[in-house]
């Protein structure tokens, strides 16, 4: 099993610190979502892992070695950085065959990845005729070509249609189940929550969060229930007795903090109180993520005057 390790990784461009003393392990067997606002340093980190840029300080290693020291890099690490990377005048098939031959990858892998990415019927079309979503699929096909243990995918869902988004979600989950290390950058917290087991958030090159997705969701989306009943005063009393914090009530509607709808429903049933409305409510994950990164956003729109 091969993971990615960053130690004090730092990259400066002129006076800008794109990546700032980043220490992090990306583990095999799970999908790690890599989030952060524009300019947070996600792409730079991926480029440093791939040896496309030199760190100013610190190290980035794959399975304990720098990328440049890997014997057969494409068989160890697959990457999607730029969906426009394929030459427009080539067909998808030629593009992948060229990559396979130059990396001593068996030709049968070309057919396999074309099939896996849903491009088999478009294989003989020139890449310049491809939509952005098809180019993404081709970039993913190229990343998968060497059957690598490690995958770095920079916004792979960009440009995909809803069916494509479901497909990529399932692909990422499968790759992790197979024991691979999967690092996927995105701007969207809600989307990332649908496929990532683990979450890393950067802000201005620094590590803001590194924890299991489940923990982030639990920490940031407090459960609460909205309930309307035939006897709000009695329901409120029963909920308070049950140890719940209850707010609202003037119009008969109550908000119960830290509860699930089933728990509130059970208390009402026990008391014989008629329930007119009952719904789980969760603070939006996207809001929690935006709050986390608000202070770290390089390109935030200025607040309008008087706001
Ligand atoms: N080649 C470069 N020369 C100068 N500055 C650079 C270069 N590459 C990146 N930067 C700067 O480094 C910072 C991090 O950029 P990076 O592209 O890594 O962020 P990102 O998180 O991938 O952003 P996005 O979400 O917009 O893709 C930014 O301030 C960017 O302007």
pLDDT digits (tens, 9 = 90+) for 95-137: 999 999 988 899 999 999 999 999 999 999 999 999 889 999 9
Interior/surface letters 185-195, b for 16+ CB within 10 angstroms, e for the rest? bbbebebbbeb
Nearest CA to ligand 1 atom 5: 13
CA of 291 to the centre of ligand 1 (A): 21
For ligand 1, whether the C-beta of 42 sits within 6 Å is: yes
User: Average pLDDT, whole number, for the chain?
Assistant: 90
Rounded to the nearest whole angstrom, what is the distance from the C-alpha of residue 90 to the centroid of ligand 1? 29
> Tell me, what's the pLDDT at 283?
64
pLDDT of residue 248: 82
Query: ipTM of the predicted structure?
Result: 0.97
Smallest CA separation from ligand 1 atom 27, residue: 38
- Residue with the larger pLDDT of the pair 11 and 104: 11
Distance CA 173, CA 22 (A): 26
Retrieve residue 99's tokens. 């990559």
pLDDT of residue 219: 79
**For residues 41 and 205, is the Cβ–Cβ distance under 8 A?**
yes
| 139 alpha-carbon distance from chain centroid | 18
6 and 45 in contact (C-beta within 8 Å)?
yes
Comparison of pLDDT for 260 and 218, the residue scoring more: 260
Minimum-distance ligand 1 atom for the alpha carbon of 37: 25
Give the per-residue pLDDT at 61: 97
| Cβ neighbours of residue 36 closer than 8 Å, sequence gap 6 or more | 42, 201, 202, 203, 208, 293, 296
Amino acid 15: pLDDT: 86
* Distance between Cα 296 and ligand 1 center (Å): 14
Closest of 192, 144, 220, 237 to residue 35, by C-alpha: 192
Task: State percent of the chain over pLDDT 70.
Answer: 94
Task: Give the pLDDT band of residue 64 (cuts 50, 70, 90).
Answer: very high
> What angle do the packed helices 108-116 and 132-144 form, to 10 degrees?
140
Domain locations in the chain as residue ranges: 4-218, 222-282
pLDDT at 294: 82
Say what the pLDDT of residue 249 is: 63
pLDDT in tens, 84-94: 777 888 899 99
Two structure tokens written together for 75:
């068989």
pLDDT > 90: percent of the chain: 71
pLDDT at residue 273 greater than cutoff 90: yes
Task: Evaluate whether 242 touches 225 at the Cβ level (below 8 Å).
Answer: no
State mean pLDDT over 35-57.
Answer: 95
Indicate whether residue 18 lines ligand 1 (CB < 6 A): yes
Q: What is the mean pLDDT of residues 6-19?
A: 95
CA distance 139 to 295: 33
3-state class (DSSP) for residue 73: helix
- Residue with the two structure tokens 């070509």: 145
Question: Length of the chain, please?
Answer: 307
User: Ligand 1 within 6 A of 293 CB?
Assistant: no
For 4-218, the fitting CATH number among 3.40.50.970, 3.40.50.410, 3.40.1450.10, 3.40.50.300 is: 3.40.50.300
Distance from Cα 15 to the centre of ligand 1, integer Å? 13
Give the rounded distance of the alpha carbon of 155 from its chain centre: 8
In whole angstroms, give the CA distance from residue 282 to residue 197: 20
Mean pLDDT of the 219-237 span: 87
Ligand 1 centroid vs 80 CA: distance in angstroms? Answer: 16
Ligand 1 geometric centre to CA of 45 (Å): 9
At residue 280 the predicted structure's pLDDT band, cuts being 50, 70 and 90, is confident
- Evaluate whether the domain defined by 222-282 bears CATH number 3.30.70.100: yes
Give DSSP secondary structure letters for 235-257.
HHHHHHHTT-EEEE-TTSEEEEE
Q: Which atom of ligand 1 approaches the CA of 202 most closely?
A: 21
Domain 222-282 in the same topology as domain 4-218: no
Q: What is the pLDDT of residue 72?
A: 85
What is the pLDDT at residue 305?
A: 44
């Amino acid at each position: 099993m091969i993971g990615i390790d960053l130690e004090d990784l730092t990259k400066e461009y002129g006076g800008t610190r794109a990546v700032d003393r980043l220490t992090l392990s990306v583990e095999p067997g799970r999908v790690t979502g890599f989030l952060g606002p524009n300019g947070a340093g996600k792409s730079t980190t991926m480029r440093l892992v791939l040896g496309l840029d030199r760190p100013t300080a610190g190290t980035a290693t794959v399975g304990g070695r720098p990328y440049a020291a890997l014997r057969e890099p494409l068989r160890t690490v697959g990457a999607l950085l730029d969906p426009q990377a394929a030459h427009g005048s080539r067909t998808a098939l030629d593009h992948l065959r060229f990559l396979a031959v130059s990396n001593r990858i068996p030709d049968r892998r070309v057919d396999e990845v074309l099939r896996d990415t849903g491009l088999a019927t478009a294989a003989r079309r020139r890449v310049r005729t491809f939509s952005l979503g098809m180019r993404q699929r081709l970039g993913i096909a190229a990343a998968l070509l060497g059957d690598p243990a490690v995958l770095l995918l920079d916004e792979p869902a960009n440009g995909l249609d809803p069916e494509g988004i479901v497909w990529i979600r399932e692909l990422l989950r499968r790759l992790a189940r197979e024991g691979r290390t999967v690092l996927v950058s995105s701007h969207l917290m809600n989307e990332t929550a649908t496929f990532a087991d683990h979450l890393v958030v950067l802000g201005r090159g620094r590590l803001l969060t590194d924890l299991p997705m489940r923990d982030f969701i639990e920490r940031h989306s407090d459960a609460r229930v909205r309930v309307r009943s035939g006897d709000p005063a009695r329901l409120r009393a029963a909920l308070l007795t049950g140890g719940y914090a209850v707010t609202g009530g003037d119009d008969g509607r109550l908000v119960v903090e830290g509860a699930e709808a089933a728990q509130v429903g059970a208390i009402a049933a026990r008391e014989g109180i008629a329930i007119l409305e009952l719904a789980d409510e969760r603070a939006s994950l996207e809001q929690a993520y935006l709050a986390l990164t608000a202070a770290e956003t390089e390109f935030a729109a200025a607040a309008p005057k008087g706001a």
